[in-house]
Amino acid sequence: MIPALARDAILAGARLNGGRDRDLLELEVLNVLSTVLQLRSIELHRLECDGDLRRSWCRARIAEGEPTATFERPVNELVQAVTWDFTQPQLAVPRQRADDGLWSCIVALGDPREPVGWINLTSAREPGADELRVVGALLGIYANHLALLDYSERDTLTGLMNRKTFDDSFLRLLSDPRMHRERPLYDRRQDASPADHWLAVVDIDHFKNVNDTFGHLYGDEVLVLVAGLMRRSFRNADRLYRFGGEEFAILLDRTPDLYVGAVLDKFRVRIADHWFPQIGKVTVSVGYTRLSPGDSPSSAFDRADAALYFAKHNGRNQVHG
């Protein structure tokens, strides 16, 4: 049975976040586990696909009871496969570290065949079997909350974020003081020029012809494949949306002015080079704009949409900003 403290805290955290803020929910889960198990530290790591490369990032951390803001830092060594399913009681066995005498335990997040991350627990003593069962139960609750978030926030066909989540994400981004922080050293798009946030709007060229010629079933397959190519083309910190029909949007995390056009054009080329089953070749047009602190979602979208309009009416299959 889950201790009352853990149960009440996790549910209070979900109510506090309105069930809609993943970052705060992650910190709340870590806070509950840290309190229940009296941990020295706890970290939540996520796996991401950066193009064809899989890397892990530390998303949130609590050390000695002090939570940090959600953050990201690289883990440069190769990512080891984690085989535990966090919805099941089978968990990693705690191991004592020779360097400091502390006990460490890693618990996988997600399907054992394709984990989405893991939680690293560090304790001054070895966690008991009952405590590890509590961890499994709490992470099961966490998984249920994430499933509810996915159901309400994601497009059912492509799995991308849906249109109704865009405004909230946009306003959180612009109100976040980290919007103006310096780029981390590991950002491969680093340059001497300032790194800003950007909004790009993507439209599949002549998509109506695809539906009219091949039918909506093949049209849906094109949408799913385009969404998959988007995931492979952008970073985990970039937010990807399906706005409806054949229109997509991208909130690009800090990217220097020098690179943003090239990043988007690389995605455009990736689409143009892909062979879509039964359909053949498909192209996209892209319009983009730089985000400013005073922007509203509608004003930024109107600018990006105007750039998209220019691209579509000047030959399509191009990027304009």
Catalytic annotation, residues: 246
Classify 260 as helix, strand or coil. Answer: helix
| Residue 44 vs residues 59, 95, 112, 172: alpha-carbon distances, Å | 6, 18, 17, 21
Residues in contact with 4: Cβ distance below 8 Å, sequence separation at least 6, in sequence order = none
**Strand, helix or coil for residue 293:** coil
278: left (phi over 0), alpha (psi -120 to 50) or beta: left
Return the half-sphere exposure (C-beta side, CA atoms, 13 A cut-off) of residue 305: 9
Closest by CA to 143, choosing from 88, 193, 105, is 88
Q: How far apart are CA 71 and CA 289, in angstroms?
A: 26
d(CA 66, CA 19) in angstroms, rounded, equals 23
- Give the span between the Cα atoms of 30 and 116, in whole angstroms: 16
